[in-house]
A = this chain, B = another copy of it.
Amino acid sequence: MKAKGRKDEGRLGGDQLERVAHLFKAFAEPTRLAILQELKGGSRTVGEVVTAIGTSQANVSKQLRILREAGVVKHEKQGTSVSCSIADPVVFELCELVCDKINRDLARDTAPLRF
């Protein structure tokens, strides 16, 4: 009967919820979102990302590690530098859904201009 997981109609346990939360957390930071936005334009070296988003190199490296370990960004050694790129197109879908929701809510706030 394969009672593996799935004990309560697909309700997730604590460990799995932590997994999900951990992945969401990768997106829950302006600096990391800025990095993702930069990578949306294609592969960039770490140095290019640093100059693009204007924070310290140490910080970019650290945030890139978080994104990589979340399976969101991919690293590739290319000659002397390291080239980064989006590892999973789900990034775009997630960001689009979230942005659309924000825009909807903003419209709802601003809409009552009707007179």
Return the contact of A33 from the options B20, B97, B98 (Cβ within 8 A): B20
Contact A90 B94 (CB under 8 A): no
Majority-rule SS of A interface residues: helix
* Chain A count of residues within 8 A CB distance of the other chain: 34
Which of A23, A88, A99: most chain B CB closer than 10 A? Answer: A23
Contact A105 B71 (CB under 8 A): yes
Contact B29 A12 (CB under 8 A): no
Residue of B nearest to A106 (CB): B19
Complex CA gap A28/B19 in Å reads 10
A30 within 8 A of B: yes
What sequence of 0s and 1s flags, for each residue 81-110 of chain A, a beta carbon within 8 Å of any chain B beta carbon?
Answer: 000000010100111011111101100000
Residues of chain B contacted by A104 (CB below 8 angstroms) = 88
Contact B21 A28 (CB under 8 A): yes
Contact A27 B24 (CB under 8 A): yes
Return the contact of A37 from the options B11, B22, B98 (Cβ within 8 A): B11
With A18-B30, A21-B32, A94-B94 given, can you name 4 additional A-B contacts, CB distance below 8 Å? A11-B37, A24-B27, A24-B28, A25-B28
